Amino acid sequence: MKIVVLDGFTLNPGDLSWDEIAEYGDLEVHDRTPYDTKEIIKAIGDAEIVYTNKTPLPKDVLENVPWVKFIGVLATGYNVVDVAFAKTLDIIVTNVPSYSTQSVAQFTMALILEMCHQVGNHSNAVHDGDWVNAVDFCFWNAPLIELEGKTLGIIGFGSIGQSVAKVAQAFGLKILVNSRTNKPEFETDTLKFVALNELFAQSDFISLHCPLFESTRGIINSANIEKMKPGVKIINTARGGLVVEKDLAKALNSGKVSGAAVDVVSEEPMKANNPLLNAKNCIITPHIAWAPKEARMRLLNTTKNNLEAYLDGTPINVVNA
C-alpha cells in the first residue's frame, strides 16, 4: 500500500520520525508540494493513503485520483480538503483534534503578556545602551499593564478557548465568552457567556479561538471594532480569515485598538503588502503557536492512531462521516 505525505516539513523538519507511519506501507514524504493541481496529482501518484497539512485537495484534484481511499489532515482544521466531494467518492477524511490545546493557550498568554510588558522592546532598548545611559535606576518606554481585574473576551469556546480561560483566570482576568453554544457548567463569578456585542463593549482584551466559518469570516471588522472599548487589544491565534486586516490596521493606526498580536494572517506565507506589516503596535509571529515539539509529537501519534483505526475498519476522528 502506497502512502504519501504532501507537505511533511513543517510537522517534522527532522526532529521527529515517520517510522510508525512507514510500518503500514510504502511511505513517500514530500517536504512540500506546489499548490498547483497538476503538481499535487503528480505528488499523490498511485497512493491510496494521502496526508496533507496545508496542501489543498479540492474537487479538481480528488476527481483525478479515484484510487485514494483515505486522507489524513495533519492538523485540526480541515478546510484544505473538499470533504463533501471526498464523501461522494467514499474517501474517508480524518483530522487531529486537540493536539495543540496546551501550546496555543500558552502562546496566547505569551502574546497578551508581551503586549502588557513589552519585554522584547525593553530588552532591545537595554542592548542598545538605554539602561547604561539612564539617569535613574530603571526606565520603561511604553505603558505597562497589570492583568488583575481586566476583562478578557474569548470568541469560541472549544478546548483551546477553555484552556485560555483557565490560565487567564489565574492571572486575575475576568472572562466573557461568546460561543455558538452556551455551556452553563463553565459559568462562575469570573466567567460569563454573553452576546457578541456585549463582549465587544466590555472587553479590554479580545482573543479569537473560533473556527473559520462563513459566519465568523471577518468578524473583526470596522463595524465591530467601533463597538469595542477605546484602547482594546486583539489577539488572533486561530485563523487569519477571522480578521479584516485593513480594518484592524486602520484601527491600530488611529489608536482605537491600542495593540494587536496575530500568529495567523489571511494568506500564508504572509504577503509583502499585508497592511498589518506597517500598522502601529502590531506583533506578528509566523504561525508558530501550534509548533512546540511536544504538540507535534501528539499530532504524529494521533495520525498513526487514525491510520491504524482506518485499517482495522473502525475509523476515528472522521470529519466527513
Q: Within 10 A of 234 (CB to CB), how many other CB atoms are there?
A: 25
Annotation says 122 is catalytic:
no
Cell output for 141: 518606554
User: By the 8 A CB rule, do 56 and 78 touch?
Assistant: no
**DSSP-derived pairing of the beta strands 174-178 and 151-155:** parallel
Strands (E), the chain: 2-5, 26-29, 49-52, 70-73, 92-94, 151-155, 174-178, 191-193, 205-208, 232-236, 257-262, 282-284
* Phi and psi at residue 253, to the nearest 5°: -70, -30
Per the annotation, the verdict on 239 as an active-site residue is yes
Residue 139, helix vs strand vs coil? coil
Q: Cα separation of 39 and 84, whole Å?
A: 22
Q: What one-character DSSP code corresponds to residue 157?
A: -
Q: Which of 30, 122, 209, 287 is catalytic?
A: 287
Amino acid in position 71? I
Answer whether 70's CB lies under 8 Å from 290's CB. no
d(CA 225, CA 230): 9
Choose, from 122, 239, 296, 298, the residue flagged as catalytic.
Answer: 239
Tell me the catalytic residues: 239, 268, 287
